[in-house]
């Protein structure tokens, strides 16, 4: 029979299994597909956690076409390089989003999450994405840079202009 596996990060795939296979055997097949350690995998079916690695799919009444949800437990360690050669280490949950990481950076450094820009291997991680969607893995090094903001008063109203690192001001009048 074939079952669907839906992971926390939106990835899904099919597995060919037998009803007599144990949860541990299913986790081994998942590891061969997506390389998540068996000890960190947690499966749910129909909102129930599949506990007991030695219980079979038949025991849980899982049939052909069933959808199982895959969650990853544990913490990953990542390094974040900040400006001025400052480096911090974070322990993150693999189910985090980039917003969670920015919040953790804010808690350690007081750099507002609103102005943080995260980079992995030179590529900016834009938007709020799950960690696994970005390529972040245990042991990764991220670079965090602050967005520059310029405050402008126009007719008594203060507006904020966001910039990127490569933006330049061509002309300013005072």
Q: For 100-167, what is the HEC assignment? A: HHHHHHHHHHCCCHHHEEEEECCEECCCCCEHHHHCCCCCCEEEEEECEEEEEEECCEEEEEEECCCC
Mean pLDDT on 4-8: 86
Task: Give a yes or no: residue 129 inside a domain.
Answer: yes
**How confident is residue 136, by pLDDT bands cut at 50, 70 and 90?**
confident
d(CA 31, CA 25): 10
Say if residue 66 is in the same domain as residue 7.
yes
**How confident is residue 8, by pLDDT bands cut at 50, 70 and 90?**
low
Would you say 118 and 104 are in contact if contact means Cβ atoms under 8 Å apart? no
CATH code of residue 55: 3.10.20.90
Count of domains for the chain: 2
pLDDT digits (tens, 9 = 90+) for 11-34: 789 999 999 999 999 999 999 988
DSSP state of 55: S
Say if residue 82 is in the same domain as residue 142.
yes
Say if residue 49 is in the same domain as residue 93.
no
Task: Give a yes or no: residue 23 inside a domain.
Answer: yes
Say if residue 22 is in the same domain as residue 66.
yes
Say if residue 101 is in the same domain as residue 57.
no
pLDDT digits (tens, 9 = 90+) for 77-115: 899 999 878 999 998 887 788 999 999 999 999 889 998
Percent of the chain at pLDDT > 70 equals 86
Task: Give a yes or no: residue 162 inside a domain.
Answer: no
DSSP state of 169: -
Task: Give a yes or no: residue 122 inside a domain.
Answer: yes
54: containing domain = 2-72
Would you say 148 and 156 are in contact if contact means Cβ atoms under 8 Å apart? no
The half-sphere exposure of 53 on its side-chain side, counting CA atoms within 13 A, is 10
Its pTM stands at 0.53
């Amino acid at each position: 029979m074939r079952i669907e596996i839906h992971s926390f990060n939106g990835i899904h795939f099919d597995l060919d299994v037998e009803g007599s296979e144990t949860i541990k055997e299913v986790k081994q097949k998942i590891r061969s597909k997506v390389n998540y350690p068996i000890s960190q995998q947690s499966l749910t079916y129909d909102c129930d956690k599949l506990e007991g690695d030695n219980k079979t799919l038949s025991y849980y009444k899982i049939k052909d076409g069933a959808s199982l949800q895959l969650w990853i437990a544990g913490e990953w360690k990542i390094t974040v390089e900040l400006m001025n050669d400052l480096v911090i280490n974070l322990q993150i949950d693999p189910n985090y989003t980039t917003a969670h990481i920015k919040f953790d950076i804010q808690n350690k450094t007081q750099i507002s999450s609103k102005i943080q820009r995260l980079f992995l291997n030179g590529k900016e991680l834009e938007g709020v994405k799950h960690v696994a969607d970005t390529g972040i893995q245990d042991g990764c090094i991220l670079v965090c840079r602050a967005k520059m903001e310029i405050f402008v008063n126009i007719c008594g109203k203060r507006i904020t202009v966001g910039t990127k690192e490569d933006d330049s001001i061509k002309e300013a009048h005072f």
